[in-house]
Amino acid sequence: MWDVALDALIDTLKLFPFLFLLYILIELMEHNTKVGKPSKALTGRWAPALGAATGILPMCGFSVMAAKLYEHRHVTIGTLIAVFIATSDEGLLVLLLSDGIAWGPKLYSLLAMIGCKLALGIAMGYLLDAIFKRRLAPLPEQKHAHIHVGHDEEHTHVEEEHEGHTHVGDEEHEDHDHGACACDELSACEHKKTSTLRLYLLSPLLHALEVAAFVLAVNLAFGYLFYALGEENVINFLQNAGYWLQPVICPLIGAIPNCASSVVLAEVYALGGIGFGGFLAGLTVNAGLGYLVLLKRASWKRGLVIFGCMLLFSVAVGYAASAIALAI
């Protein structure tokens, strides 16, 4: 029981640095800072290919990063799907370290899996960008009030725009001596420094902690679910499933947003319990915690559509791979 909680905590802690750095990057990008200017690598012609190549790396944080960037409209739908398809969570790493399969078939399976997922991710990424013409849907407009506080706490100056010119504060504050001006400048400097720290450090930290807490709760829930079901029972269920049912059952397991799903699929494949088609289908839909990010935010309807399409696409890929395997 305690092992489940410890595994969930470790998985969340591994993800937290990605979340923190990602939120800092998003703040830099959304405030048009020199460091955070949107890069062509995120939206250019090579973006889906770069996303698929990044997703191949066995780290669960990349699907979360892609989902957050898509939520803030910094990457296209094609790049998001390319990352999701290519991502395998820890499945490929578990297969590489498994002793249940000889090195020859193991390397062949790894290379075939990486090649298929990379090709599928790139192809679907460019196809979706072509269909949607690389559009990034605009975010809802937000109104920002800029408030400047002077040296006296009782006097608050609010900028107001009237027909092309700006009127700051009341007219009675127009005549300030040099000492008051110096005090205002010092106070404004301190206020700017505090706002910068809050904007680029404190705010990303709080957002990262919020998402990490949500991820920890989900990891605990699915971890205890696997514990209650029993990993051996899940493995036996997959092994007893018919060859033509595996491309349907494996994606349902792979879609579970928890590292255990990809681990179980890899272990069953190493034991010979499922074919390559079922394994490919399960890992194609396996985008880990990326789905949670899409479903948690206000765009949950769009997230459900993406999740459903990924599930159907994975089933189709599984059947196609199974048919090709039988034909060879």
pLDDT in tens, 179-194: 544 455 545 454 455 5
Q: Compute the average pLDDT of residues 227-233.
A: 74
277 in helix, strand or coil? helix
User: Could you give the number of structural domains in the chain?
Assistant: 1
Residue 30 within a domain: no
By mean pLDDT, which of 25-29, 142-146, 172-176, 218-222 is the weakest? 142-146
Residue 238 within a domain: yes
pLDDT value at residue 213: 82
Query: Does residue 15 or residue 252 have the better pLDDT?
Result: 252
pTM here?
A: 0.71
Residue 321 within a domain: yes
Q: Which domain holds residue 265?
A: 38-136+230-327
Residue 217 within a domain: no
Which of left, alpha, beta for 274 (phi over 0: left; psi -120 to 50: alpha)? beta
Going from the C-alpha of 32 to that of each of 69, 196, 199, 212, the distances in angstroms are 15, 13, 13, 26
The yes-or-no verdict on residue 317 having pLDDT over 80 is yes
Q: How far apart are CA 121 and CA 124, in angstroms?
A: 5
Confidence of residue 73 (pLDDT cuts 50, 70, 90): confident
Share of the chain above pLDDT 70, in %: 74
Residue type, 258: N
Contacts of 87 (CB under 8 A, 6+ apart): 55, 56, 60, 62, 63, 286, 287, 288, 290
pLDDT value at residue 41: 63
Residue 311 within a domain: yes
Residue 153 within a domain: no
pLDDT value at residue 176: 47
By CB neighbour count within 10 A (0-12 exposed, 13-18 middle, 19+ buried), where does 264 fall?
buried
Confidence of residue 122 (pLDDT cuts 50, 70, 90): very high
